[in-house]
Amino acid sequence: MTDGAFDELVTFVEEELRFATSHYNDSYLDRRVSSRMRRTGNETYAEYLETLRADPDEQEALLDAMSINVTGFFRNPDVWSGIRSVLRLLAENDESDEVRIWSAACADGREPYSLSMLAHDDPEIDAATVRILGTDISEPALETARGGVYEEPRTVDIGDQLSFLDHYQQYVEEDGRTYRIADPVTRNVTFQRHDLINDDPKSGFDLVVCRNLFIYIDNEYKQSMLRTIAQSLRPGGYLVIGKAETIPPNLKSAFTVRDARLRIYQRDQKDLNGDD
Ligand SMILES: C[S@@+](CC[C@H](N)C(=O)[O-])C[C@H]1O[C@@H](n2cnc3c(N)ncnc32)[C@H](O)[C@@H]1O
C-alpha cells in the first residue's frame, strides 16, 4: 500500500503541517488521505501532494480528517454495563473515601460525562465521592468538553445514546437538537490537556477508561501509552480499553483479565518496572 509518493506525502504532513504522523499506523493514515483524495478528485498520492502544497484550505481539511475525534455518550452500551459493575465494586471499597477515575483521550467529554451520569444514576454509588478527570491532546475538543453543550448532527441520535439510562432527562437539559449537561453532572468532572505519548504518568487512579485510541496508534507508541496508563493506576485499579483493542504482550503480565469481551482488566499488585 505504501510507496515513495505516499512516504513523501506523509513527510510533508509531518514536517510542514506539524502533525505527528509517526505516531499513527500507515493503514490509518492511508484511509484518511484516501478519503481526502476522493473528495478533491486526486487519483494519485503525488497529485494530491501537489494540491496540498498549493491549497492551505486543503491542508486544514486534511488535518481535520486526521484527528480522530469520533465519540458518543455510552458508546458500546454493553461495555457500560461492565463499567457500572466496576463502579459498584469501587464504591463498596471502604478503605478509601473517594473513587478516582481517569477518562484518558476523552475527546469532547461525552465519555467522562457518561461516567458521571452513571455514578449519579446508580443507587449503589454515592456520586459525591466520585472524581473524574477527562484528558485529551486536543485543545478544541477540551474546550467543547468544558462547555458541556452538544449539538446533534443529523446523523446522530444523542437521545438514543443517552437512553442507556432510563431517566437521562434528569442529567441533561434538552432544547431541540441541543443537549446541555446539567450542573450536578459537570461538577464531578474536570478537564486537562494530556498527551499519552509524551506527558508523564499520573498516579493513584482507581479506574482508567482509555478507549478507541490505540487502534490508530503505531505499535511502538501503543506500548508506551499503556505503560503510562498502567503506572497511573493504583495496584488493584481497573482499566477499560476499546472493544477492538488489545494489551501489548509485554504488558499483559501487569493485568488480570476481568472481562475479556468487554476489555476490562485489573492492575496487579506487583511493580511495573522490569516487565519489558
Ligand atoms: C476516537 S477518540 C476516542 C474518544 C473516546 N475515548 C471514545 O471512545 O469515545 C480518540 C481521541 O484520542 C485523542 N488523542 C490522539 N492522540 C492522543 C495522545 N497522544 N494523547 C492523548 N489523546 C490523544 C484524540 O484527540 C481524540 O479525541
C-alpha cell at 55: 491549497
Strands in the chain per DSSP E: 99-104, 130-136, 149-151, 172-175, 178-181, 189-193, 205-210, 233-241, 255-259, 264-267
**71 ligand 1 Cβ < 6 A:** yes
For the stretch 82-108, pLDDT in tens is 999 999 999 998 677 899 999 999 999
| Residue 273: per-residue pLDDT | 57
- Which residue among 213, 218, 245 is best mutated to probe the pocket of ligand 1, counting the most ligand atoms within 8 A of its Cβ? 213
| Residue 64: per-residue pLDDT | 79
**263 ligand 1 Cβ < 6 A:** no
Q: Residue 204: left if φ>0, alpha if ψ -120 to 50, beta else—which one?
A: left
Q: Residue 188: left if φ>0, alpha if ψ -120 to 50, beta else—which one?
A: alpha
Which sign does the torsion angle of CA 260, 264, 268, 273 carry?
Answer: positive
| Residue 274: per-residue pLDDT | 46
Q: Nearest 5°: phi and psi at 36?
A: -70, -35
List the residue whose alpha carbon is closest to atom 27 of ligand 1: 107
Specify burial of residue 155 (Cβ count, 10 A radius: 0-12, 13-18, 19+): exposed
* Enclosing H/E stretch for 76: none
Question: Domain residues of the chain, as ranges?
Answer: 4-66, 77-267
Low-confidence ranges of the chain (pLDDT < 70): 1-2, 94, 271-276
At 196, the amino acid letter reads: L
CATH label, 77-267, candidates 3.50.50.60, 3.40.50.1980, 3.40.50.620, 3.40.50.150: 3.40.50.150
Ligand 1 centre to CA of 106 (Å) is 6
**195 ligand 1 Cβ < 6 A:** yes
**108 ligand 1 Cβ < 6 A:** no
**218 ligand 1 Cβ < 6 A:** no
Ligand 1 centre to CA of 61 (Å) is 18
At 104, the amino acid letter reads: A
**26 ligand 1 Cβ < 6 A:** no
**245 ligand 1 Cβ < 6 A:** no
Ligand 1 centre to CA of 95 (Å) is 32
